């Protein structure tokens, strides 16, 4: 805890120093902090919504897209790691699409979902899905593939069925990879939603908030406040996953 506080203090000191000597033309940290607190309750900045409401809008999209991604990636990753035939079937397809950055999909996503009534939100959820899916899939696959072969052979010696081996051996061995993939996928999904919101008039979301604050005259304190909220929520999501990992993997 002391080192965490020290790291934050270091950033603030460097920020103060850079502004005071004229290296950065930014407001001072305490000025941004005052604006940050005010934006929690002030409904004026963007379309009558405060910073909390914009944050909730972004979170809903990230949770929706990530849930779909993990729902598909986890079982597929386990099967690909367990069965070489399944891996051979899907691997080429995955390796073709995986290098394409989620941000490159943004224009096409808005075109694909243009015919739906809530097209903007669906497109943004799709972008989050792409960002969260591949890290979770690959991490799960690698841990499933690394299942101790001695355990599998022992289970076969006791005449365990394939379903039992999958349930009792392969899936438990994959749990660390699943959690690691969820952690990375959530982080990437959180980054992609901000970019997707910046490129569309969604009317809500932290990315939209930051872009509007820039377009109405470069309101730097508001922009940095939005960035701070992004960092804070991202940090909290990461801590939640770490806490879940400690609970689920006490044996480690």
Predicted pLDDT at 45? 61
Sorting pLDDT into bands at 50, 70 and 90, what band is 43?
low
Predicted pLDDT at 133? 95
- What confidence tens digit (pLDDT) does each residue in 109-167 have? 888 888 888 888 899 999 999 999 999 999 999 999 888 788 877 877 777 777 887 78
Q: Which residue has the tokens 């739906």?
A: 116
Predicted pLDDT at 96? 92
Sorting pLDDT into bands at 50, 70 and 90, what band is 28?
confident
- Which structural domains are found in the chain, ordered by start? 42-248 (1.10.3720.10)
């Amino acid at each position: 805890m002391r080192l965490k506080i020290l790291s934050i203090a270091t950033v603030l000191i460097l920020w103060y120093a850079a502004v005071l000597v004229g290296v950065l033309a930014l407001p001072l940290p305490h000025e941004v902090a005052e604006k940050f607190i005010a934006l929690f309750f002030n409904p004026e900045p963007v379309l009558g919504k405060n910073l909390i409401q914009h944050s909730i809008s972004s979170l809903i999209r990230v949770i929706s897209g990530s849930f779909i991604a993990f729902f598909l990636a986890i079982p597929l990753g386990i099967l690909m790691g367990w069965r070489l035939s399944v891996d051979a079937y899907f691997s080429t397809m995955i390796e073709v699409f995986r290098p394409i950055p989620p941000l490159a999909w943004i224009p096409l996503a808005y075109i694909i979902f243009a015919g739906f009534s809530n097209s903007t939100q669906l497109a943004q959820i799709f972008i989050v899905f792409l960002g969260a899916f591949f890290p979770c899939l690959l991490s799960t696959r690698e841990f499933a593939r690394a299942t101790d072969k001695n355990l599998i052979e022992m289970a076969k010696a006791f005449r365990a069925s394939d379903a039992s081996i999958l349930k009792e051996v392969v899936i438990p061995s994959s749990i660390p990879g699943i959690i690691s993939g969820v952690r990375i996928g959530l982080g990437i999904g959180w980054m992609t939603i901000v970019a997707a919101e910046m490129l569309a008039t969604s009317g809500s979301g932290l990315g939209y908030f930051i872009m509007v604050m820039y377009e109405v005259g470069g309101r730097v304190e508001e922009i940095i406040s939005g960035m701070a909220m992004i960092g804070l929520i991202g940090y909290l999501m990461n801590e939640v996953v770490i806490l879940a990992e400690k609970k689920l993997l006490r044996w480690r």
